[in-house]
Structure 1
């Protein structure tokens, strides 16, 4: 019960307290204390009728108590608490507290990596280790990055307020990156985060209905989410080509494809729109044999122009493997510096398997298995490894 409330309400509670107190450390620590109090009291007293409200109220009270105890800060912050409690909420282009927090953490004074990492921490309650895996960096590196980001906010006096409507487009890229990383964390096993990312994507669409990258991101998330029920079977990962397409959520597919068509009408392609278009091509195929890999490769070629990265190059190599063969794809994969990324080793292993180089494939599968913590992925990779090793 408490774990579920933490996952669903941590971001909301932190966002509300940041708005009230204007201090991320005060907000985060108070919410942590409130959940610790819940762990002590709820098993004995029972859960309150409104767990989310209880957490927010308890956290607010703990923050007030803490600020009053700190004599050096009491005058400044106690008055702010009273004023914020008495005054109505600010009118803003962004009405949702969690979305407000995302725009706040995505301030241009912070580096992009810090913006995304800090928002993942505050909004989703992800641990430092989880965020480090999302960024493909060591946990210690991510911990230092988070500390520096908070220090930057404090020392530079970065205000916690929402940009006005004319300023929203300039701040959008960081926000979209945050939402997509939250979605990816959710798609990796935390459904509530995927749901939250899609909800935020819908809110962004309401705010900016003609911004194609907003539409593209929402379409991308919907098309990926549509395959959720087919992605795992008996606790094991099922690849896209082996999925039961009858389990795909056709409502989400149709909504996602409709958004892709709207993006084409606008005619300003960007990275999220291109990724959504790639997924739309997959969704068009009733059978895996009907997949238009030539179209997918063309879209990856465009994506490499708009937003080149090693991960995009890896995905493009998969498409090359379907169009030009495993040998051509392996040549491209071998050039990539993605040794820390388990999918790099998984893709390489599959290409080696298709080329009949089973000993090398088995070693690559071992490397991939050692670099993922997802048990469903491990089970799939172990089965493939056994197949090539006999």
Structure 2
């Protein structure tokens, strides 16, 4: 492979450069390799091999002019090596060798293995490749937990630790699910392709849930020193838009698109200059992305137009719309938000929905009306291990003038919180109560 175009980097700087490219382009690289090889599991292995080479080579040689192309070319060359080992004259190896132009000039490859960082991305195939990755990861041959874990790993680029924290399970459990999922896909001979319409419908629910979870991790990171991970959130938004183009007659696809747009519209005001969280009541609403709000409301209108009533994503999008159009927290239509959360809870009972409804009730009717809801969740040991419930309970107790109890709850919340920025906010609230 050719040396990088830039100067040599320190070890840490080189690794950071690799990580930045991988976080953005991993789904596209894995998708392209899966299309070239026809083997989903092999594609991720090849991508990981290319990543390992980059971690060694980029700090030494500099970052290539086309980093994603470098990784893709490296993965494709490793594919040729793999097929060469499998069979001397394998048909797929021959096709790949012709495509790469081994022994002669071709796009993305140079004679004698030099060069190779200038693979051309086909914009008409990138979306299809990533979408195919999502549908393959959500194949019905897999258990639901395995579908979500595999898609978050391969498409969302989340680490096993991040997925484990998002679902409150051990990291080893997530790793085992991903390994079993790959083996199940290989054993079933699942083709790498966006499925036909008849099969698409049965997988769509899981696909939407995976996109939603990716966005949730991006909008409120469970760990690290950033409150918002724009890369993950943007990837989820892009996938939602692709889905909306692919299945334009499905209202929940438009509803999810609306929810993501309306939520992301608040990102510019959610953090301060140094990345610290800014609470909703303190946000400068002039910084909200009005174009995103317009897109989100238009997508929600398309979901409404189907005339089937709103599903789970539609109801959440309607809640987000209430916030988006309100001039301030005080002028927000909190009774409507309470009603929407009540409907959402009936559609799919959830402790998180009940907790959010309690927050809305506290704004509409006062903290005394909301505390019994939260106390009921605590008595049922709902959301065990999560910082969310003690955070809300601590806030309500503080508003009710019970600072000692509030401090205890917020201290528990801070101990459980994995995000450094969010934990700092909790610690400041604890200090204020003293």
Fold equivalence (TM over 0.5): yes
Structure 1's consecutive aligned runs of 4 or more residues displaced over 6 angstroms after TM superposition are 84-87
Could you say which residue in structure 1 is the equivalent of 2:4?
none
Q: Distance in 1 between matches of 2:87 and 2:271?
A: 55
Q: Which residue of 247, 250, 270 corresponds with 2:290?
A: 250
Q: Distance in 2 between matches of 1:357 and 1:85?
A: 72
Could you say which residue in structure 2 is the equivalent of 1:126?
158
RMSD of the alignment, in Å?
Answer: 2.2
Q: Which residue of 329, 338, 342 corresponds with 1:301?
A: 342
Query: Per-residue deviation at 1:157?
Result: 3.4
Could you say which residue in structure 1 is the equivalent of 2:103?
none
Could you say which residue in structure 2 is the equivalent of 1:314?
355
Query: Per-residue deviation at 1:35?
Result: 1.5
SS in 1 for 2:422: helix
Q: Which residue of 190, 201, 225 corresponds with 2:264?
A: 225
Could you say which residue in structure 2 is the equivalent of 1:197?
236
Maintained 8 Å contact 1:300/1:316: yes
Q: Distance in 1 between matches of 2:125 and 2:139?
A: 16
Could you say which residue in structure 1 is the equivalent of 2:420?
375
Matches within 5 A, 1:17-166: 17-69=33-85, 74-75=86-87, 78-83=90-95, 96-166=128-198
Could you say which residue in structure 2 is the equivalent of 1:344?
389
Maintained 8 Å contact 2:41/2:186: no
Could you say which residue in structure 1 is the equivalent of 2:217?
185
Query: Per-residue deviation at 1:4?
Result: 1.4
Q: Distance in 1 between matches of 2:45 and 2:199?
A: 31
Distance 1:282-1:354 versus aligned 2 partners, 3 A rule:
same
Could you say which residue in structure 2 is the equivalent of 1:384?
429
Q: Distance in 2 between matches of 1:313 and 1:377?
A: 21
Q: Distance in 2 between matches of 1:177 and 1:275?
A: 13
TM-score (norm 1): 0.91
Structure 2 unaligned blocks of 5 or more: 1-16, 100-123, 222-227
Query: Per-residue deviation at 1:226?
Result: 0.7
Structure 1 unaligned blocks of 5 or more: none
Maintained 8 Å contact 2:127/2:242: no
Quick check: 288-297 or 20-29, which moved more? 20-29
Maintained 8 Å contact 2:83/2:92: no
Match status 1:171 vs 2:203: yes
Query: Per-residue deviation at 1:77?
Result: 10
Q: Distance in 1 between matches of 2:316 and 2:96?
A: 42
Could you say which residue in structure 2 is the equivalent of 1:270?
311
TM-score (norm 2): 0.83
Q: Distance in 1 between matches of 2:97 and 2:358?
A: 56
Distance 1:94-1:360 versus aligned 2 partners, 3 A rule:
same
Show CA shifts across 1:182-205 (max 9, x none). 112222332112111111111111
Distance 1:24-1:167 versus aligned 2 partners, 3 A rule:
closer
Show CA shifts across 1:160-201 (max 9, x none). 332112432222111111111111222233211211111111
Query: Per-residue deviation at 1:150?
Result: 2.1
Q: Which residue of 263, 278, 285 corresponds with 1:238?
A: 278
Distance 1:281-1:65 versus aligned 2 partners, 3 A rule:
same
Maintained 8 Å contact 1:219/1:259: yes
